[in-house]
Structure 1
């Protein structure tokens, strides 16, 4: 009897603990914000609009007219194309000169002999200072001193040492050079630049140009006056420039 009462008390104690546990769990859920909406809210959905696709427009293609062959006409005369001929017909074919070869190939053409150059004429020695310096340098032998009237040299003498001389290309002196008149004691060379017209007259004279070795004005004026009296042969040239050199001793 005592054992049965003990089992009943144990069951009651377990039921009480279970009820207390559930009650405590309920209070915890309510206190933590666990709520239940009743009635439940309406369901919300996202509205999606599906646009209808437009039908593609047809592509217009320009179409031409197919070429058509003309209707055949058997009775029409057929026209043939004829080749045109050249105005002049050749009488024979073009032929080149036949090349000639030797036994071992092409014929060798010998080189013509070269002229031997006189090297002594190219480089004259100092002993030839009195010779013709205006002669061609390739000449085998120099010519004599230039004589009076030479087109490219002195019109009086080939050597100008101690004597007056004139240089006028292509012209010769008529007679002799007029000598200057002076009374001073001085020596040296006075070179006068002259202009000569086509009649051979000296139209202007300028003393003291390049080659002059004296600065005495009296000698310059004497050389100028003498140069204006010089006379040359006639020429087709309107005016020519030359020089007259006077040596005062």
Structure 2
């Protein structure tokens, strides 16, 4: 492409014109300083009500204005490390577990001691029971021996046909605990090892039936001499129920001498019945 001289002059003129416009703009509008946002201009307010002159005076001895000291920055809160909290919880849990374990061990120990004390107490009670049973057994054996119960409060001379023994043998046909060994039926004899009948003798049963024979009663006598039970025993030949009941009631009223000890004694009372001549 070929340019002629007019075209070249036109191009150079156009470029120069635009450069001139840019220069003018840079020296005027583009060189203006735009103030920053929120900025201001310092103003000297002075320190007296009125003064003359053009220049800023030097320090005249007046106290400078106090500078405001900015407040210290707030101290940030110190956060407790998470690991420390976790560690503390673990230590407290371990301490509680140890205390609970010790308490449980103490409780088991006390229970074991109590069980041992109960066992020893039971053994002592069992030994005491066996000892008491043995003493009662020995005493019962001794009571079977003649004279083991000791002399009664009303002991006296012996009367009877036997070669051994003591007390009043009496008579199968007697009606009194003393005097001659003969008489009519209704009152009989007793057998109670080492014991004697009281001053009243054997109580007499009511004899209302014309029937001969005998009624044997097994009696139990306490240490005070009281007959606490009387039952019809073997050897009885009378079947009349009224006579049996009368004999039993009479035996329960009998009174023997008292003895020392606490064991009841077993014996017999025999009533013999015979028609009067």
Report the TM-score, using the length of structure 1 for normalisation: 0.37
Report the TM-score, using the length of structure 2 for normalisation: 0.34
More helix by share: 2
